[in-house]
Amino acid sequence: MWLCSSNHQHRFLLVWCRKLCRLVVPMGSPAGSSLLGPEDRSWDPAVRRRHRGSTTPNAPHQPTAAEGMSDRRRSSSQSKSLKTEIPPSQKRNLEKGGVSKVSSELRKLCLEDFPTREARQSRPKPTETSEVVFGVAPCLLALTQRRRKAYQLLVKDGETSQRASVLTICEEAHRRGVQVSRVSKKDLDKMSSGGVHQGVCLRASPLSFLPVDAESDASGAGVPLWLVLDRIQDPMNLGAILRSAYFLGVDKVVSSLHYSCPLSPVVSKASSGVLEVMGVYGCDGLEDMLRSRAAGGWQVVGTVGADPGESQVPVIPCSDFRVTGPTMVLMGGEGEGLSGKLLSVCQTLLTIPAGRVLSPGVDSLNVSVAAGILLHSLLLARSRCSSQKEAEN
């Protein structure tokens, strides 16, 4: 063992000195570092910093270009793996049919917040005269009847958009290629001017009065009955009258164009969407139109309050009148009723008898309520007359 050369002995001692210094020097004084010789100073912090590429003892570690490139490649691969990861439920659906399945309600509510370029080009652009229709029934009927140009459907974000009625509206909007967007309740309140929007608003072109011409005289089978309105200024009253007229079977509704409320979204909401279905005709001169119809054989019938006072035209209860030919029923606006000029054209005046002695100041009904009562009485009598004629024939 002791016969080895001095060279081997020197190497043996050097290896054991290095091992001993690795254990002792980092915990003690750096003075013992001379045992390692100049070729090994890995325990020295300054040497370690130089090996890491930093020349300043307190400078933070700066990644090299190679390290930055590897980090970016690592983060890119991780993000790609996250994007391409498919949930287990969708994997099962893809294995079965190749298409991920969703519920029927979600299929109906495919809200198109980011439409394709072809869809954007095919949609009509809003004009300066567009208005906001609000409410479930008005929006649905505006889309299905197609009397308006629909531009955008706005739905309240949240549980409201999951109601069956709202889903039906969204489905119809998509069928017509109308953009559907989710908005907040605050936005809908502002667009509907505080109206009861029920979570949906539709931006569309406005409706206008139809002209009274020879084509508008054509009606269905039976005796025609028209409702003529003079200076109805409250949109809520106009909407309620239209709803009753449509439900009870009035053939045409004509309104004076002067001092009357327009066909606004408020009227559509008050009519529960009837304005989107039933056309309303407008006339500049009601007096001339009524005289022309009376000369052509139409019955022109006016309406007055429970206490009409002195009148040169006969006044009878509405239940006693019989519709025997083409008839026009006139109703005046809130407060003043029919004007003197229109009363002079009437052949008969109808009234609704009160069921009790009325107190002073309470001598009439709301115009929309009175219209419902009068129309029900007249149209019921017309229906009975038609049934009797059919039975006789």
Domains held by the chain: number: 2
Examine the domain organization and report whether 192 and 285 are in the same domain. Answer: no
Residues in the chain: 393
Per-residue pLDDT of 194-221, as tens digits, reads: 999 999 999 999 999 999 875 556 555 5
Q: Which of 258, 198, 223 is nearest to 386 (CA)?
A: 223
pTM over 0.75? The answer is: no
Radius of gyration of the chain (CA): 43
Examine the domain organization and report whether 285 and 230 are in the same domain. Answer: yes
In the sheet that 131-134 helps form, which strands lie side by side, from edge to edge? 131-134, 200-204, 150-156, 179-183
Examine the domain organization and report whether 381 and 293 are in the same domain. Answer: yes
Domain end position, chosen among 136, 169, 204 = 204
Strands (E), the chain: 131-134, 150-156, 179-183, 200-204, 210-211, 225-230, 252-256, 280-283, 299-303, 315-317, 327-332, 348-351
Per-residue pLDDT of 318-338, as tens digits, reads: 999 988 899 999 999 988 889
Residue 60, helix vs strand vs coil? coil
Residue 65 forms part of a structural domain: no
Residue 193 forms part of a structural domain: yes
Residue 71 forms part of a structural domain: no
How many CB atoms within 10 Å of residue 115? Answer: 15
Per-residue pLDDT of 254-281, as tens digits, reads: 999 988 999 999 999 999 999 999 999 9
Angle separating helix axes 367-392 and 235-248, nearest 10 degrees: 10
Domain that residue 152 falls in = 117-204
Residue 230 forms part of a structural domain: yes
Examine the domain organization and report whether 175 and 318 are in the same domain. Answer: no
Residue type, 238: L
Structure tokens at 356: 């009790």
Domain end position, chosen among 148, 183, 204 = 204
Examine the domain organization and report whether 252 and 311 are in the same domain. Answer: yes
Examine the domain organization and report whether 293 and 242 are in the same domain. Answer: yes
Residue 110, helix vs strand vs coil? coil
Low-confidence stretches of the chain (pLDDT < 70) are 1-128, 160-161, 214-221, 306-309, 388, 390, 393
Examine the domain organization and report whether 158 and 173 are in the same domain. Answer: yes
- Confidence at residue 219, expressed as pLDDT on a 0 to 100 scale: 53
Examine the domain organization and report whether 238 and 369 are in the same domain. Answer: yes
Q: Which residues contact 210 (CB under 8 A, 6 or more apart)?
A: 216, 279, 280, 281, 282
